[in-house]
Amino acid sequence: MNKRKITVAVTGLNNIDSPGPGIPVIRGLKESESLDVRIIGLSYETLEPGIYMHDLVDKVYQLPLPTAGSAVLKERLRYIVSQEKIDVLIPNFDAELHNFIKIQDELKVELNIATFLPSQTIFDERQKSELGKFGEKYGVKVPESHMINQVLEIRKLEETLDYPMVIKGRYYDAYIASTYEQASTYFYKVVAKWGYPVIVQEFVTGTEVNVTAIGDGEGTCIGAVPMRKLYITDKGKAWSGISLEDDELMEISRRVIENSKWRGGCELEFIKTKDDEYYLLEMNPRFPAWVYLANGCGQNHPEALVKMALGEEVQPFTDYQSGKMFIRYSYDQIVDISEFQQISTMGER
Amino acid sequence: MKIRKNIAISENGFIFNPMTGDSFSVNETGAFILQKLKDDESEETILQNLMDEYDLDTYTAERDLNDFLSMLKGHQLTTNE
């Protein structure tokens, strides 16, 4: 079968111990049976390992940091498409998504770059700070959450929330606090890294189970694969995990994707309690770093996303294999200084 | 008591529960009991088979079987249907 040649730009090349989803997404695309994909890597830091993975990433361009804003990002992308055509762009960082969502229509019209992102409204609805409303609207249990801007507000929350409570950053990081002192320390730690507001969440006891999923934006869940972490790093990232067979979890996940009309990839993080109840802790608005497991289970989510971005109709996956495991490993690449120099000085390699 | 339908049991006594992602290894006796449960044998029959196979008295066989069955239940590997 002749594979169709296309070019896909991907961010999240930081394949480190707390990895971004870029490299797993690329691996999925490279294994597509119908697409022959040339990969443009988009990086923020010069030491992102994916920059130097020549077998997976064909060409790399640096992007301005998300704080530079969407106009600067668009200008940079305008330069990149003057060098070569990009058919589809898959952003993989929480912090950059806002900019990409904002200019998604302009990217399509002006630069002919297709994306497959949710609208700003739906993106905002699932923000950690809005989780309570999100749960109510889309029929899924969520832990009690509060947004705070002052450390003293924790004292007030003690009236309704028992310790331990979870202190979370608006994008990343979560700490379990057992006392007010711990909670206030974590509050400042989170503020220093992620700014305001800080989210204070009820601590729900149980087993963490995660789902990588993809929606078509019209109310259909195209695919979903559930996973339990088997080994967790000190940063709380999965180093190993296994796909599960859990009908109820799948039903809840599909409901969330379908009711919210989610468009694109996402990760749903749940706690399964002793009483077999599922609480949605977070909905991450992009593929997780373990999305390649879905591919191993028979659902190539990155490929499905690219096809939908290109306007093709994709049939929902109906099956996946449980009992498939992923086991990460670290690997030292040897890179000549000239290559590092090139990306550092020219912003591309 | 029955083994849940979707539980995978290999010949060498490796068990995988796809609902929880847990996996276990059991010894030959454990594998013997699991095979009988999988074959829908009643607990009375399994007890008798255990006594015959391993030359056990009723008290020891019953105690060991009950211990093992409650362990299976604790790990959500069984159903009462």
Determine the distance in angstroms separating the CA of B52 from the nearest CA of chain A, rounded to an integer: 35
Task: List pLDDT tens digits, range A258-291.
Answer: 999 999 999 999 999 988 999 999 999 999 999 9
Residues of chain B positioned with their CB less than 8 A from the CB of A242 = 21
pLDDT at A173: 85
pLDDT band for A180, please (50, 70, 90 cuts): very high
Question: Tell me, what's the ipTM?
Answer: 0.79
Structure tokens at A217: 């934006």
With a CB cutoff of 8 Å and minimum separation 6, the contacts of A240 are A229, A230, A231, A325, A326, A327, A328
Determine the distance in angstroms separating the CA of A275 from the nearest CA of chain B, rounded to an integer: 12
Structure tokens at A246: 């859990």
- Whole-angstrom Cα distance, residue A158 to residue A180? 9
Mean pLDDT value across residues A17-22: 93
Determine the distance in angstroms separating the CA of B23 from the nearest CA of chain A, rounded to an integer: 10
Reply yes or no on whether the pLDDT at B3 is more than 80.
Answer: yes
Residues of chain B positioned with their CB less than 8 A from the CB of A244 = 18-21
- Whole-angstrom Cα distance, residue B61 to residue B68? 11
Across the beta sheet with A238-243, what order do the strands follow?
A278-284, A263-272, A207-216, A221-232, A238-243, A325-327
Structure tokens at A326: 């992923």
Nearest CA in chain A to B75: A274
Task: List pLDDT tens digits, range A64-123.
Answer: 999 999 999 999 999 999 999 999 999 999 989 999 999 999 999 999 999 999 999 999
Residue A167 corresponds to which amino acid? I
- Whole-angstrom Cα distance, residue A143 to residue A120? 24
Task: List pLDDT tens digits, range A200-226.
Answer: 999 999 999 999 999 999 999 999 999
Task: List pLDDT tens digits, range B18-76.
Answer: 999 999 999 999 999 998 998 899 999 999 999 999 999 999 999 999 999 999 999 98
Interface of B with A in 19-38 (CB under 8 A): 19-21
Reply yes or no on whether the pLDDT at A21 is more than 70.
Answer: yes
- Whole-angstrom Cα distance, residue A114 to residue A95? 20
Percent of chain A whose pLDDT exceeds 70: 100
pLDDT at A267: 97
Reply yes or no on whether the pLDDT at A171 is more than 80.
Answer: no
Rounded (10°) angle between helices B58-74 and B28-38: 70
> Which domains does chain A possess?
4-116+332-346 (3.40.50.20), 144-202 (3.30.1490.20)
When CB atoms are compared, the residue of A207, A241, A244 closest to B18 is A244
Interface contact B74, partner A, CB < 8 A:
no
Of A63, A8, A45, the C-alpha closest to A30 is A8
pLDDT at B81: 63
* Secondary structure element (H or E) that encloses residue A145, with its range: strand A145-148
Interface contact A273, partner B, CB < 8 A:
no
